[in-house]
Amino acid sequence: MFSGSGVAIVTPFTNGEVDIEKFKSLIDFQLKNNTQALIVLGTTGEASTIDFKERELIVKTAVQHVAKRIPVIIGTGVNSTLTSIKYTKQAEELGADGVLVVTPYYNKATQKGLIIHYTEIANSTKLPVILYNVPGRTCVNIAPKTVAELAKVDNIVAIKEACGDMSQILEIKRLVPEDFMIYSGNDDNVVPILACGGQGVISVAANVVPKEFQRMCELFMNGNMKEALELQLKYKKLVDLLFIEVNPIPVKAAVSALGFIENELRLPLTSIEDNNMILLVEEMKKLQII
List residues forming the annotated binding site for pyruvate.
Answer: 44, 202
| CA–CA dist 280, 289 (Å, integer) | 11
* Residue 18 dihedral angles phi and psi, to the nearest 5°: -60, 130
Q: Which of 22, 87, 118, 160 is catalytic?
A: 160
Q: Which of 87, 118, 132, 183 is catalytic?
A: 132
Alpha carbon distances (Å) from 81 to 2, 103, 212, 251: 26, 10, 36, 29
Q: Is 235 a catalytic residue?
A: no
| CA–CA dist 173, 175 (Å, integer) | 6
Residues making up the binding site: 44, 202
**Which segments within the chain are labelled E, that is strand?**
4-8, 13-14, 17-18, 37-40, 72-75, 98-102, 129-133, 156-161, 181-184, 200-203
| CA–CA dist 193, 181 (Å, integer) | 11
Q: Is 126 a catalytic residue?
A: no
The residues annotated with a catalytic role in the active site are: 132, 160
